[in-house]
Amino acid sequence: MIAADVDAEGRWKHSRYEAHYSYLWSEWVAVFVLLLFWGVITVIYNVVIFYDSFQLPERRANLISGEDGEASERSRLIRDAPREQPVKSAMARRFSRAEKAARTALLMLLAVVTFTSLPLPYACTVPSQTPTPSPSPPIPPLPRCSTCLQNAATLPAAIISWIVAALGAFLVVIESVAAEGGSVDGARAAINGGIVPLIVGIVVVGMWEWASIRRMGQESGCA
């Protein structure tokens, strides 16, 4: 139950609860969007690895053979490497990076959304009785003290969550389609450098909202 005010007609308003509910719903939708990206990329990555397993003997032979017929030091290490560490193709390496990027973004966003979703109890006032309709002017119900719950989901937190989800999805696309190189490394550094401050921003917004909830409980007169 969330504390609410009484309007001019004696009805109890719950706009604060409804607003926070929609913000919380929006944040979790952003999490599930990243979860969908991670799931799709993981399936594709495993399919590519499965296909590579049939090409592995030929790829190993090409890597360890030299023009003079003798294996170099690097080729010898590849040849003697355990079978659990196969030589990945370029496509497999791309989807491996994409899967890692999706998983990292998902875990970071999941952590902060869970943080903002935690219910925080605080002292509040609730109606002691429901007003009955009568021809006379309605009398607002007398409030009584109770314990209410609220979370730290807010509009700024929901907006930042979607920005993080969009940046994470964009990085996944880049990692899965672009060959490894300086441009990909630069894009990865730039996007991750933008995601981390946004994650910290969600935590700051959540802690600010928690402080506001505590102040609201202290000002209710029931603490």
Say what the pLDDT of residue 157 is: 92
88-94 contacts at long range (C-beta below 8 A, 24 or more positions apart): 88/49, 88/52, 89/48, 89/52, 89/55, 89/59, 90/179, 91/48, 92/45, 92/48, 92/49, 92/52, 93/180, 94/175, 94/176, 94/177, 94/178, 94/179, 94/180
Which among 28, 18, 19 has a CA at the least distance from the CA of 162? 28
Q: How far is CA 169 from CA 38, 49, 57, 98, in A?
A: 9, 22, 34, 9
Give every residue of the chain whose pLDDT is below 50, as ranges: 1-15, 67-71, 73-74, 77, 82-85
- pLDDT at residue 187 in the model: 87
Q: Which value, in Å, is the radius of gyration of the alpha carbons in the chain?
A: 28
Q: What are phi and psi of 136, to 5 degrees?
A: -80, 165
**The pTM is what?**
0.70
Is residue 120 within 8 Å of 210, Cβ to Cβ?
yes
| Predicted pLDDT at 90 | 80
68, HSE (Cβ side, Cα atoms, 13 Å) = 4
pLDDT by residue (tens digit) across 94-122?
Answer: 899 999 999 999 999 999 999 998 887 77
Tell me what pLDDT residue 151 has.
83
pLDDT at 169: 93
Predicted pLDDT of residue 139: 59
